[in-house]
Amino acid sequence: MSFPTQLHARARLAAERSGLALSTWLAQAAEHELQSTARAADGLAAIAELETEHGAITPSVADRAWVSTVLASTAAEQRLAG
């Protein structure tokens, strides 16, 4: 297995900070990603099933405004932390 040099260095540093061997850290990272991907796929399948049974989910104006507020707040927090 090979990685770009900078990615390898960052992963090695993260593993060291976690007190893990690089191979263990990479295995845990891969497992986490696989679980996240599976959860996302399960969620999308559930939404598709719901829409098949009840029709398309259409967000209200209030829903869209709430999402815009949350995204703007998150972007502002990331800029401050950056």
Using the predicted structure, report yes or no on whether residue 6 has a pLDDT greater than 70: yes
How many CB atoms lie under 10 A from the CB of residue 29? 13
Exposed (0-12), middle (13-18) or buried (19+): which is 49, by Cβ within 10 Å? exposed
Give the structural domain span for 57: 5-81
Q: Two tokens at 19?
A: 């007190």
Residue 57 gets which letter from DSSP? -
Our count of domains for the chain comes to 1
23-52: pLDDT as tens digits: 999 999 999 999 999 999 999 999 999 999
Spatial distance between the Cα atoms of 21 and 18, rounded to a whole number of angstroms:
9
Helix axes 22-54 and 5-18, enclosed angle (nearest 10): 100
**pTM as predicted:** 0.62
Query: What is the predicted pLDDT for the residue at 82?
Result: 64
